[in-house]
Chain A
Amino acid sequence: MAYERRKKKDNPVKRFFVVAILAALVVAAIVTTVGRKEFGLSHRLAFESLAPFQGVLSRGGHFVSGFWDRYFNLVGVSEENERLREEIKRYVAMNAANREAVATNVRLNQLLGLSRSIQTPVLTAQVIGRDPALWFKTMTIDKGISAGVEKGMPVVAVEGVVGQVINVSPRFSKVLLAVDPNSAVDAIVQSSRALGIIKGTGQGYRLDYVLKEKGVAVDDLVITSGMGGVFPKGLLIGTVVDVGKDRRGMFHAIEVRPAVDFRELEYVTIILQASPLAE
């Protein structure tokens, strides 16, 4: 047929240029993104689109495991066990706060000064996803900009410090856990008042920059010092499990066990205060 002869011939040169330009644009987009920590528009869109799927699967998983635990594993015993665990967690947190309150009271009475108590609003969020990679410790929560969450806000649980918000979208946020090696929290040993920095090791914490002249012992509680301006003072971080015996260097090598079980976290609290470090 005549119309078949007039069929357009495929132009390979034109196709090559189109593909090359598209590939160059994609490579340029990737190269300009590599190494950044801030979400751009595309990442925020992807985060906002994919996080609801996490929420659905997460809630479904909790429902199924809760159903199994409650109805097949001695209902009454399971409920009582859960209630008692919550009570113990509450009492441990209260105990740490009370000790800190007593210590603060004594110091202030000695100094004849005033303390300022800050009451900031808080927001509860559900954990809907966790980082699957081996070396990064982050999680996704179901509150975002629309609920008042901003980058840099501290995140805590009943047991103690959880982490800090590092990325936000309208309805979801990404939290850097305190056990991540990129995390650093200003801390103080409750008994000896030794100042230091809590760094994550992936599984636990390390308390750095504590001078050797300061006495630190196993089972000492480590709390936030409030000096970084991120976490309020007095929040429980963890318990000292090992104090290194190395004679070299100016500082102790202290291992701290986190107060929070990050694998079992379901709900967290975001402290809605503007961080001085947030951009």
Chain B
Amino acid sequence: MRVFIFFLLGILFISLQTTLFQAFPEWVGVPDLLFLLILFLALYFRPWPGAVLTLLLGVGMEVFSGHFLGLYVMAYLMIFFVAKGLAGHFALDALNHQPPLVALSYLFVNAFIYLSSLMLADTPLSPWGWGIMLQRTLIITILVIPVNRCLFLVMSRCDKRPKKRSFFGQKKGNYYKA
């Protein structure tokens, strides 16, 4: 259930980034909520459900962004496993440690996609654009803590399991106290 809910959240983030967020002014940019979700999956999900979700969301992102397939999937999976590996040795799940992690990994992912596209393209791409790239990095660094808190809330709601009842409304198991 948790995996399904987060998959739907990923689809919502992709849709928002490609539609409503495009109307934001240039100086605000387009907050990359999907990237924050991928990092959240890396830090708080088990490896295999998280990796599968990352793969699916990467495919979803690359059908709407860029010309070359496979780049977003590779970049997101790399970040997922690197963050997962680092989380085992450092206290990355503490919220106050996440802004620098988000900033560095966001720059790494975008650099990977840009350089790969540069190598695959027949013609030069637009310039890298340090100004706007740092601006977007700053925006998601600011957003990481509130977004992660919201995702925690969603995860905790998903993890609450309802009590199992029989068809006739009776509770199962021995509920008589000794």
| Distance (whole angstroms) from the CB of B173 to the closest CB of chain A | 17
Contact with A along B1-43 (1 / 0, CB 8 A): 0000000000110111111111100000010100000000000
Main SS at interface, chain B: helix
Inter-chain CA distance A190–B68, complex, in Å, is 35
Any B CB within 8 A of the CB of A212: no
Any A CB within 8 A of the CB of B88: no
A53 and B11 in contact, given A34-B69, A35-B68 (Cβ under 8 angstroms): yes
Contact with B along A114-130 (1 / 0, CB 8 A): 00000000000000111
| Distance (whole angstroms) from the CB of B111 to the closest CB of chain A | 12
Any A CB within 8 A of the CB of B74: yes
Inter-chain CA distance A34–B73, complex, in Å, is 9
Residue of B nearest to A179 (CB): B126
Please classify how large the interface on chain B is, using the bins under 10, 10 to 19, 20 to 34, 35 or more. Answer: 35 or more
Inter-chain CA distance A132–B72, complex, in Å, is 13
Any B CB within 8 A of the CB of A176: yes
Q: Is the CB of A30 within 8 A of B73?
A: yes
Which of A39, A132, A134 has a CB less than 8 Å from the CB of B21? A132
Top 10 nearest A-B pairs (CB, nearest first) are A202-B126, A34-B70, A129-B18, A53-B15, A33-B70, A57-B19, A47-B63, A132-B17, A58-B19, A133-B65
If A53-B15, A202-B127 are given as contacts, then 5 extra A-B residue pairs at C-beta distance below 8 Å, sorted by A number, are: A30-B74, A34-B70, A50-B11, A134-B132, A135-B114
Identify the B interface with A (CB < 8 A). Answer: 11-12, 14-23, 30, 32, 48, 55, 59-60, 62-71, 73-74, 77, 110, 113-114, 116-117, 120-127, 129, 132-133, 136
